[in-house]
Structure 1
Amino acid sequence: MSIPKETRQILEGLSLDSDFLSSDSSLSDIPNDFDREAEPLLDPTHDSSTKSIELLSPPTTSPPSTPLKQTNLLWPETPRISKPKLPKVSPYFPALLDDPESCLPFPPVDAPLFGLIQEQLAHDPFRLLIATIFLNRTRGGVALPVLFKVFARYPTTDAMATADRTELVSMIHCLGFQNQRARKCISIAQIWQTNPPVKNKRYRKLHYPRKLDGRDVGPFECTDDEDHRVAWEIAHLPGVGAYSLDSWRIFCRDELRGLATDWKGSGATTDGFVPEWKSVLPQDKELRAYLTWMWLKEGWIWDRHTGDLTPASEKMMKAAQKGGVAHEEDGNWILETSPVRKAPNGFQVD
């Protein structure tokens, strides 16, 4: 598939090759019954698991005969957790994208951007949420060109809200689950028209970000910022799952609330301001890699299970300043840097 002009422009703006789009996804906001494509309706508030926007596929060549030096980007001996089971998927879905050893480029910590599409859409939260729907369990090389075509056809929220569903389904057919994706996009746009996310209006999301969160908020209740119960400004939108919420919190929430002009804390309006991204513990592996990178920028090793921080060693920071390719093992990101020999106990040594 040729890459559309809009895609090339974004890649050129990030100084990235077209190979950056050859990606897989591992987790999904698509609920378990999304494989029942023939059903006429789905509950638009159906809860969902998480999804990944993965922008590079793992290498297919055999590993080099000389092992690579590996720098653990999380503190050693992070406790293992059981891997969540993927939902059943339609036989018509393009591919089963459960990749236990994914890898991706890890930019130097002084780079301005990591390379996620969310960084480009951070100031447009509506489009960011639409992007998370398109990238659910779908290779970026397939999803992103289609996404940009849809943005061109429906350039505003109003245009998406009045979209002909048959036409939209036809445009996104190659992604799989096209009927459900189209319904999500149109429904989100319609609710956005009448009840857009705003500061000081929050809604419950059951069991997000932790189990039992949201149970003390009524299904149709709207809370304000003086209410300390867990609720979120976009949780009333249909089909918004944990991955979408994590992405929005990291890249959009501070700006919506008027606390800063971007997700990095620029233009913070209060003393001691802490950006929202520092409190997110995503399950998506690319968001975990991104937060690992963001914390390393500040000299910390971040534990993705607890959020605990440990000062990064000088050796770690030197590796992070060079960047490279990282792969995930048991939830930890390992930065491959240079050839080394292995000690008898299996640990990497200089």
Structure 2
Amino acid sequence: MTAGDEVRSKYFSGPERPAPSHLSLPDETRKILAEFDLPSDFLASDSSLSDAPSDLDLKEFDSDLPTPQLSPTKSPHFPTRHTTPVLSTPVKPTSLLKPEIPTPSRIKPLKVSPYFPPALGDPESCLPFPPIDAPSFGLVQEQLAHDPFRLLIATIFLNRTRGGVALPVLFKVFQRYPTIEAMATADLSEFVSMIHCLGFQNQRAKKCITLAQTWLAAPPTKNKRYRKLHYPQKLDGRDVSRHECIDDADPRVAWEIAHLPGVGAYSLDSWRIFCRDELRGLASDWKGTGTLTPGFVPEWKSVLPQDKELRAYLTWMWLKEGWLWDRHSGDLTAASDKMLRAAHRGGVAHEEDGNWVLETSPVKAANGLHGM
């Protein structure tokens, strides 16, 4: 993957066309709009759907922003664009209220070949599962583990956005703003333009720039921790005041990067798994390499993430050590020899009841791998 790769999101439909100043509607249509108390430009509204980043906290991060006034035809969660329909003939009133539904005789049944087995679970919940002796799982966090600032920026891009869409744009941004200082002084409109295809570009751009500015003013430092409300458990952080900084001797729950804007659960999980041990000087990487602390336990072993790729990664990491990991409780069960042989071969994994199941055959799942 290179910075020059072109990516086009399915949610981005290109530049908008200007609407004409006057739209002629039939009298019958105007009566219906008036009857339902709809604005005259109702037919010119269309909704462009996109997933909202789950870590976006406008109350805490953008508290100075005015609350948008929404019309009844717009969703509060999704950006909207305006297009203008071309009415070449008068529209019948019933066509506005009753969309045409195909009759059973017009619906063609799907053809299923008897020569191929059914798909392994829901494709949206499946992931390639490399052999456990592979050098890496394939997450971008592994590549950025020694650069925590860029890792956090990556989590802003990846939050609720597929990697195939987000990562090429991310690396273009890194090329345009190669240092923290460059990103801290970035022009907001230019940044927004660069990431427009990802959706929620204004919030993402503002979060990235402000994160860089805060990082320069107060970088994450060993022995300085800040609260993150309700993370990792509900009510965590309530006993730490909003701007309080506590040291490592304080038993209360707080984190070295929680003061940075735009940092939510996904960002914190990623940073704890891949960066925290190195920041605190406990090891040279997240795997515990070079530790001099007796009985040292890497931070990743105490994380219970909600993101499916991070869950799959930890399942893979625990299998390397011979354990099946329950992502709800963190409980461990010894993996059987059969399971480990399958894990050494790798395959495709899908989630079942919140945990990962490894499929080692395109036709049949390996027995005994359920509950991973």
CA distance in 2, matches of 1:27, 1:281: 22
Give the 5 Å matches for 1:313-332: 313-332=336-355
For the residues of structure 1 that align with 2:231 and 2:352, how far apart are their CA atoms?
25
> Hey, what's the Cα distance between the residues in 2 that align with 1:190 and 1:241?
18
* 1:221 equivalenced with 2:219 (yes/no): no
CA deviation after TM superposition for structure 1 residue 239, in Å: 1.6
Gaps of 5+ in 2: 8-49, 68-110
Q: 1:184 to 1:62 in 2, by over 3 A?
A: farther
Cα offsets for 1:119-149 (capped at 9, x unmatched): 0000000000000111122121221111011
Of 56, 61, 68, 1:31 maps to: 56
Superposed displacement of residue 330, structure 1: 2.2
Within 5 A, what are the aligned runs for 1:90-105? 101-105=124-128
Q: Give the residue type in structure 2 aligned to 1:119.
A: E
Distance 1:7 1:259, change over 3 A: farther
Give the one of 182, 188, 191 matched to 1:165: 188
Return closer, same or farther for 1:313/1:210 CA change in 2, 3 Å cut-off: same
> Any conservation in 2 of the 1:28–1:243 contact (CA below 8 Å)?
no
Whichever residue aligns with residue 179 of structure 1, its letter is N
Correspondence for 1:144 among 167, 184, 191? 167
Distance in 1 between residues matched to 2:365 and 2:146, nearest whole Å: 46
Question: SS in structure 1 opposite 2:257?
Answer: coil
Q: Percent identity?
A: 73
Residue matched to 1:21:
none
Give, as a single letter, the amino acid of the residue that structure 1 aligns with 2:298: P
CA contact (8 A) 1:101 1:329 kept: no
Distance across 2 between alignment mates of 1:203 and 1:172? 30
Deviation of residue 5 (structure 1)?
4.9
Q: Provide the secondary structure at the position in 1 that maps to 2:333.
A: strand
Shift in CA distance, 253/26, structure 1 to aligned 2, threshold 3 Å: farther
1:203 corresponds to which of 208, 226, 244: 226
Report the CA distance between 1:65 and its aligned residue: 4.3
TM-score by length of structure 2 reads 0.69
Judged with a 3 Å threshold, the aligned counterparts in structure 2 of structure 1 residues 67 and 170 are, in CA distance, closer, same or farther, namely closer
Q: CA deviation at 1:329?
A: 1.9
Q: How does 1:120-135 map to 2 (within 5 A)?
A: 120-135=143-158
Residue 113 to residue 288, structure 1, CA distance change in 2 (3 Å): same
Map Cα deviations across residues 79-129 of structure 1 (whole Å, 9 max, x no partner): xxxxxxxxxxxxxxxxxxxx7851111000000100000000000000000
When the two structures are superposed, what TM-score results if normalisation uses the length of structure 1? 0.73
The Cα shift of 1:29 comes to 3.1
1:194 and 1:330, CA in 2 relative to 1: closer, same or farther beyond 3 A?
A: same
Map of 1:155-304 to 2, 5 A cutoff? 155-304=178-327
Counterpart AA for 2:257: I
Task: Mark the CA change 1:100 to 1:66 in structure 2 (over 3 Å): closer, same or farther.
Answer: closer
Counterpart amino acid of 1:29? S
Give distance in 1, aligned partners of 2:341 and 2:52: 32
Kept in 2, the 8 Å contact 1:114–1:290? The answer is: yes
8 Å CA contact 1:7, 1:144 repeated in 2: no
Of 327-336 and 150-159, more deviation after overlay is shown by 327-336
**1:4 corresponds to:** 2
Q: Give distance in 1, aligned partners of 2:347 and 2:51.
A: 22
Residue 332 of structure 1, CA deviation:
1.5
Q: CA RMSD in A?
A: 3.2
- Structure ID, larger Rg: 2
The alpha carbon displacement at 1:269 in A equals: 2.1
State the AA in 2 paired with 1:236. H
- CA shift at 1:302, angstroms? 0.5
Question: 1:244-267 CA deviation, whole Å, 9 max, x = no partner?
Answer: 000000000000000000000000
Q: Secondary structure at the match of 2:350?
A: strand
- Residue 360 of structure 2 aligns to a residue in which SS? strand
Count of residue pairs brought into register by the alignment: 280
Q: In 2, Cα distance between the equivalents of 1:294 and 1:279?
A: 12
* Secondary structure of 1:231 counterpart: coil
Q: Which protein, 1 or 2, shows the higher relative CO under an 8 Å CA cutoff with sep ≥ 6?
A: 1
Pairwise CA distance, 1:26: 8.4
2-side partners of 1:179 and 1:26: how far apart? 14
Q: Distance in 2 between matches of 1:272 and 1:221?
A: 31
